[in-house]
Structure 1
Amino acid sequence: MFDESGEDMAVRQRLLQHYQTWQGVPYRLGGTTKQGVDCSSFTQQAFQQQFGVQLPRTTADQAAEGMRVAGRSLQPGDLLFYRPGAKGRHVGIYVGRGEFLHASTSRGVMISRVDNPYWRQYFWQARRLDY
């Protein structure tokens, strides 16, 4: 059903390993630790720890990194950006198989489906980093 290259699988596995150490950590705006983390800190730390990539701290700044890609061309490691409100912005990391990792304001660090109606309605853009 999903056609993933060996490289895609390796990226997925590294991101899922990172997720296992953060799963369930509560959301905290401005948070950067396992006591509470926000979405952009979670993505920043995932890329630093798993790939040695330095991302900016905020979602808005991360949204300017890399190159824009179409939602139908997603690969594991792509950043997914959402606009769930007039001023709100949210970021997660695509891990393949229709799933992304993120720090949810309501449920903390978790895995969600990109085809979930909530997330689909607020999708803004996807970005691919060069690492």
Structure 2
Amino acid sequence: MERFCLLTLLILLISGCGANGKRFESREGLFEKYGSREAVLHAIESGDADADAFVVAIREGPLRFMDVPPEALANYLEAFANEGMLERIPLYFFQDDEMIVSLDTVFEDPENASANREVYKDYLGRVQIRGM
């Protein structure tokens, strides 16, 4: 029985590690899929871009937050929160109503609040100011 449990644990561990291979490892992942910078930006603005690939593209440099309007970024906010990257978003983006609504949703998950502590503190201050 002990051997069976160990074997099952090993299989689950191996299959779990293999799932990470599906993520875009290349910083050019979005560009390979869509072909050009303009096509990538259009896919992001329309909400069709892969969230993981978008996060990698921002993290590693082919794209910057300032390349994307706040309303488009709001669609991907949870992906950035999961990676603890909300602090990298320019502050003026959080003036946009869609971003504020997205933050309401993102911070319903305590893990997102913990991973993005400083942004969460600012968010709580804004919520108190708005009287919610």
- State the TM-score, normalized to the length of structure 2: 0.27
Q: Highest Rg: 1 or 2?
A: 2
Structure with more of its chain in helix, by fraction: 2
Report 1 or 2 for greater relative contact order, CA contacts < 8 Å, sequence distance ≥ 6: 1
TM-score by length of 1: 0.27
